[in-house]
Amino acid sequence: MAIFIDADSRVIVQGMTGSEGMKHTTRMLASGTTVVGGVNPRKAGTSVAFDGTDVPVFGSVTEAVAATGANVSVIFVPPAHTKGAVVEAIEAGVPLVVIITEGVPVADSAEFFTLAQAKGSASSARTAPASSAPASPTSASSRPTSRVRARSASCRSPAP
């Protein structure tokens, strides 16, 4: 099993201010994940308090990466906005994009999967619970950065 998120990961959460994003950001922080920011263009410049930890909200992934050095984006946005969020993260140079959203249209998944391959970004869909191990000794540099797996809830294929 590969470990994608470890102690060296600096995570931004796209959709952090929504109900699912807030719930899972709270869980990530409680487990020791370094969450360095959230992204919501309508709430840029604010921060969200999670059990004593204030997490800043940025207007774009590019802005969040520049300000925080983020190297992972976890996406909790509705299916209609998922493709845009993934493309934004890949275009901003985020090396690992974890897509939590269920019900992403197959055509959208195929499009961002192809973009991730072309840009050398790793994209992982619907595997986030198995992605995180913040206390792991595995270094970020040993992570596969060109491996791309994209499976949405609407596009499941049998295991090889």
* Structural domain contains residue 78: yes
Residues 90-102 have pLDDT tens digits of 999 999 999 988 8
| Residue 35 belongs to some domain of the structure | yes
pTM confidence score: 0.77
Whether 128 has a pLDDT exceeding 50, the answer reads no
- CATH code (residue 68): 3.40.50.720
Q: Which domain holds residue 37?
A: 11-138
23, 100 contact by CB (below 8 A): no
Query: Does some domain include residue 28?
Result: yes
- The total domain count for the chain is 1
> Token pair for residue 7?
């102690």
pLDDT digits (tens, 9 = 90+) for 31-87: 999 999 999 999 999 999 998 899 999 999 999 999 999 999 999 999 999 999 999
* pLDDT tens digits along 18-39: 999 999 999 999 999 999 999 9
Q: Is 102 a member of any domain?
A: yes
The more confidently predicted of residues 1 and 150 is 1
**How many other β-carbons are positioned within 10 Å of the β-carbon of residue 21?**
22
